[in-house]
Amino acid sequence: MIFVILHLAMSEKLNNPSCATCGARQKSVFCSLNSDQLVQMDEHKGCDFYKKGETIFKEGAIARGLFCVNKGKIKLSRMGPSGKEQIVRFAKGGDIIGYNSMLSRRPLSATASCLEDSAVCFIPSQQFFALIKKDPNFSLKILELTAKNWDDASRLITDMAQKTTKQRLAEMLLWLKETFGLDEDNCIDVKLSREEIANMVGTATEAVIRLLADLKKENLIALEGKKIKMLDIHGLVMLADLID
Amino acid sequence: MIFVILHLAMSEKLNNPSCATCGARQKSVFCSLNSDQLVQMDEHKGCDFYKKGETIFKEGAIARGLFCVNKGKIKLSRMGPSGKEQIVRFAKGGDIIGYNSMLSRRPLSATASCLEDSAVCFIPSQQFFALIKKDPNFSLKILELTAKNWDDASRLITDMAQKTTKQRLAEMLLWLKETFGLDEDNCIDVKLSREEIANMVGTATEAVIRLLADLKKENLIALEGKKIKMLDIHGLVMLADLID
DNA sequence: CGCGCGATTGATTCGGCTCAATAACTGTGG
DNA sequence: CCACAGTTATTGAGCCGAATCAATCGCGCG
């Protein structure tokens, strides 16, 4: 019996890294919580590991809490009417996902799946709402986040409506660079299939392939296997923004 | 001197209808404020009248407060890279606009202009933030609003990326119906030019004209002068959602 | 009544989607 | 380490939707 209890305790400790020492928290919306609040979080949260390709939550489900990404890379996508996936956002260490559904009181509007092995904490909705009710600064942080999300989304709507596929591709490459950064080789530090890129840009896989080849011809990028090397960021910006 | 003071007082009274008796407030985010809060609002707000076509604020400016629409119809649009307007949202009585920029701490991301003569109150940012800091229920209301905005926007991104122009047009007609309702004649109760419709759908004016004619042929709508009569809502929903 | 803007229609062009075939790659088991 | 199968990437050909350009029409208004 003792052993069982010990085992559970150890397992829990392993599975629940403390928020107080979580590196990802520093750059998250939880960065300015005090130690009391952190203890509360630790007591109620859970942490799970997901393998590449696994789903964290599905579009249409009811959210019982939010997820905070400890480590890994996650794509958020929705199903279009014809069954085609549209990638609407990415999340990485320090980002939270699934919160919007609780705030909007609507079912989850996107599916979250892992682009690589990931560690993700779960924070029950009560905890989240308790923070909002008691800590106006936290409310403001979340408001800033949702406001920026909306701002970005409405810019994206304009882009989708008005830009050519090639411009949108250039823009998405720049977005990926901002989100995931570049590795030592100047390549975008995330592994996506051509189909996934197409599902961001909102086009067909073949179009992405052809347009990537075009960008390569124009010396804006280089293709090294699956990796995309950014050769001329300024050129990509000019292309994406239609600056001559 | 006395006359001047009297005049100012009268003018202010006329220009500043009390929030307590504002019909639009009932359906706004301010619906559950208490009387103290309403007095505060009244003391600090201003109210302006705008004629059809006038601009309330411009994309890129810094927001000093938010606007609450008392009466009228307003379009929010952004300029695309090639100078083409993209309509991203509408506002009518009871809606607030311009708040997102304060929350995101970014310049205003859209231009607001009147589709008809409108009365719009201005609430300074201090008042708005004071409400958020002191009233968690108000915070939650705003959070719900921004969360829904984002949710709607990300659905729109998927639609823009994946639907045909005709489907998007059908969807926009349904959106207009939801937003502005129908008049006694079953016509969408807002006056928009073909170009403005095109700027919602993200297409060329000519395409809108041709596709409206198609919808008419299919008995989904009727065109009576500038007005669009909704004949078969269910049919439009099916078309927009690609249900066979 | 004529002016001018918005609406409409027609003709042409082109981007990008679809379908089809092939090549390269990944992981698996022998 | 290689062979195989299944997946992903690439290339080619053809077609269609929708953008563009151009011309005309219609209406509201001074």
Confidence class for position A244, pLDDT limits 50, 70, 90: low
What is the model's pLDDT at position A134? 92
Query: Are A124 and B121 a contacting pair, CB within 8 Å?
Result: no
Residue B96 pairs in a beta bridge with B68
What is the model's pLDDT at position A107? 98
Confidence class for position A151, pLDDT limits 50, 70, 90: very high
- Average pLDDT (B77-96) is 93
pLDDT higher than threshold 70 for residue B133: yes
Max intra-chain CA distance, chain B: 73
Q: Which CATH number fits domain A3-138: 3.40.50.300, 1.20.1260.10, 2.60.120.10, 3.30.43.10?
A: 2.60.120.10
Q: Which pair of tokens denotes residue A179? A: 């989100």
Q: Which chain A residues are Cβ-neighbours of B149 within 8 angstroms? A: 146, 150
Mean pLDDT of chain B: 91
- The protein footprint on chain C, as nucleotides within 7 A of a CB, is 6-11, 15-20, 25-26
Q: Which residues in chain A (216-235) have CB-CB distances under 8 A to chain B? A: none
**Packing angle of the helix pair A125-134, A136-162 (nearest 10 deg):** 110
- What tens digit of pLDDT does each residue of A217-230 get? 999 999 988 899 99
Q: Which pair of tokens denotes residue A114? A: 């892992």
pLDDT higher than threshold 60 for residue A5: no
What is the model's pLDDT at position A21? 87
- Average pLDDT (B15-28) is 83
Element (H, E) at A89: strand A85-92
Confidence class for position A13, pLDDT limits 50, 70, 90: very low
Strand B46-50 to B118-124 pairing: antiparallel
Q: Report the C-alpha gap between B123 and A76 in whole angstroms.
A: 36
Query: Are B36 and B134 a contacting pair, CB within 8 Å?
Result: no
The Cβ-side half-sphere exposure at A58, using a 13 Å CA radius, reads 3
pLDDT higher than threshold 50 for residue A70: yes
The mean-pLDDT minimum among A41-45, A107-111, A163-167, B218-222 falls in: A41-45
- Average pLDDT (A112-140) is 95
Q: Report the C-alpha gap between A174 and A237 in whole angstroms.
A: 8
Q: Report the C-alpha gap between A39 and A37 in whole angstroms.
A: 5
Nearest nucleotide (C1') to the CA of residue B201? D18
What is the model's pLDDT at position A241? 87
Distance from CA of A227 to the nearest CA of B (A): 25
Q: Report the C-alpha gap between B244 and B235 in whole angstroms.
A: 10
Tell whether the torsion through CA atoms of B31, B38, B150 and A89 is positive or negative: negative
Please give the backbone phi and psi of residue A240, each rounded to the nearest 5 degrees, phi first. -65, -35
- Residue to mutate among A66, A137, A146, A241, with most B CBs inside 10 A, is A146
Residue B49 pairs in a beta bridge with B119
Q: Report the C-alpha gap between A71 and A119 in whole angstroms.
A: 5
Q: Is B152 helix (H, G, I), strand (E, B) or coil?
A: helix
pLDDT higher than threshold 80 for residue B7: no
Tell whether the torsion through CA atoms of B45, B46, B51 and B55 is positive or negative: negative
pLDDT higher than threshold 80 for residue B214: yes
Q: Which tops the pLDDT comparison, B5 or A95?
A: A95
- Average pLDDT (A142-170) is 96
B147 → closest Cβ in A104, A148, A154: A104
DSSP one-letter string for B81-103? TTS-EEEEEEEETT-EESHHHHH
State the CATH class of domain A159-239. Answer: mainly alpha
List where CATH 1.10.10.10 sits in chain A. Answer: 159-239
Query: Are A144 and A122 a contacting pair, CB within 8 Å?
Result: no
Query: Which residue has tokens 């939801």?
Result: B178
What is the model's pLDDT at position A15? 57
Contact flag, residue B213 CB and nucleic strand C, below 7 A: yes
List where CATH 2.60.120.10 sits in chain A. Answer: 3-138
Amino acid at A4: V
DSSP A182: B
What is the model's pLDDT at position A27? 87
pLDDT higher than threshold 90 for residue A23: no
What percentage of residues in chain A have a pLDDT greater than 70? 92
What is the model's pLDDT at position B225? 81
Query: Are B187 and B224 a contacting pair, CB within 8 Å?
Result: yes
Amino acid at B232: D
Radius of gyration of chain A (CA): 20
pLDDT higher than threshold 60 for residue B11: no
Reported pTM: 0.90
What is the model's pLDDT at position B92? 96
- Closest A-chain CA to B147: A104
pLDDT higher than threshold 50 for residue B13: no
Contact flag, residue A233 CB and nucleic strand C, below 7 A: no
pLDDT higher than threshold 80 for residue A19: yes
Element (H, E) at A79: strand A73-79
Nearest nucleotide (C1') to the CA of residue B226? C7
Q: How far is CA A58 from the centre of its chain?
A: 15
What is the model's pLDDT at position B123? 96
What is the model's pLDDT at position B126? 95
